[in-house]
Amino acid sequence: MTHSRRSVLRRGAGLAVAGTAASSAGCSGAANGGSGEFDAGYAAFFTLNDWANEVAGDRASFEDPVDVGRLGHGWTPDGTLATDVAATDAFVHLDNPEFSWAQDLAATLESDYDTVAVIDALDGVEDDLLDWDHSHGGEDGRDGHDDEEGSHDDDGGDRRYDPHVWVDPVLATEMVETIATGLGEADPDNADAYADNAAAYADELDAVDAAFESIAADAARDVAVLAGHNSFQYLEARYGFRLHSPVGVSPQNEPTQTEIADTIDLVNAEGIDVVLYDRFQSPRLAESIVENSDATEAIPVSPAGGTTREWNDAGYGYLEQMTEINVPAFERAFGAQ
């Protein structure tokens, strides 16, 4: 099935959460931005934008405020995003502190703009969220994401959850269905069309799931090396992959020389010939590990939470990043070819 790909670029001036609230308060779930027709919305970052456009089809168009080459978590918008979003019909986001700007925007919309449907794509998958431990140095480089004590904020607050839930195609299916349900509630006349589009997209997500299942079944080794912060814990949990990262899960972490040396030893001991790295990060660490080990190649993977100009020009959406970038890379890394 061929999907139309709308631009993920937000043209014109920078956008941000700051904005002047409307005078009338209301609740989420209403729509139409005062125009009388449901036809436009925003999504908090590339993946949600792609999914929202797939579900909406030709009935509405969603925009992504995050610039090409950037990821939506840890991002700070510029400008007046709240008023831009309030002029549309829907906002799709993840209710996760790693997207605090989107949480703030959703709260503003729910409080002050009763014409905008606010859709939390995490609704219904909360029990499947993994702890996100920002401490450094898990036994196998995964920074102990099963350690609940490490999943608290530094100030002792609420547990933090890994936001990269979208890399799991099974959970992605549930999130796409949640988006379809939200759009259907906001625009009942087209609810059946949204549900049908989501079902068709789910078939393609099933194919991604099957591809990773095949890699897990055919893997020649039980560990691969990711020379960057680990955005793939949901794939590890789903398929039993083991990714060793000298960095861990936090992009702020820097590996020690001991951790790099241990990673090189692992590469040599396991006969690993491919070192993976995050396309949105520098390849220098991966290249250094290759140069100083028996590995022969550094290959990029995508956390599928953003896009590049090259991928954008090629029309790559979430599916293409998973099938054209990640599946082949994981096949090579685990020796499943």
pLDDT, tens digit (0-9, with 9 covering 90-100), for 74-99: 667 666 888 899 999 999 999 998 88
pLDDT tens by residue, 229-287: 899 999 999 999 999 998 765 555 678 899 999 999 999 999 999 999 999 889 999 99
pLDDT (0 to 100) of residue 251: 54
Q: Looking at the domain assignment, is residue 217 inside a domain?
A: yes
pLDDT tens by residue, 309-330: 999 899 999 999 999 999 999 9
What element of type H or E holds 290? Answer: helix 284-291
Q: Looking at the domain assignment, is residue 265 inside a domain?
A: yes
Domain assignment of residue 249, given as a range: 148-156+209-333
Full 3-state SS string of 12-34 = CCCCCCCCCCCCCCCCECECCCC
In the three-class reduction of DSSP (H, G, I as helix; E, B as strand; rest coil), residue 93 is classed as: strand
Q: Looking at the domain assignment, is residue 70 inside a domain?
A: no
> What residues contact residue 200 under an 8 Å CB cut-off, 6+ apart?
1
- pLDDT-wise least confident of 32-36, 185-189, 307-311: 32-36
* Per-residue b or e along 125-144, where b marks 16 or more CB atoms closer than 10 Å to that residue's CB: beebbbbbbbbbebeebbbb
pLDDT tens by residue, 205-215: 999 999 999 99
How many structural domains is the chain composed of? 1
Is 23's pLDDT higher than 50?
Answer: no
Q: Looking at the domain assignment, is residue 268 inside a domain?
A: yes
- What CATH number has the domain bearing residue 248? 3.40.50.1980
Residue of 221, 248, 237 whose CA lies nearest to 331:
221
Q: Looking at the domain assignment, is residue 237 inside a domain?
A: yes
d(CA 61, CA 53): 6
For residues 40 and 124, is the Cβ–Cβ distance under 8 A?
no
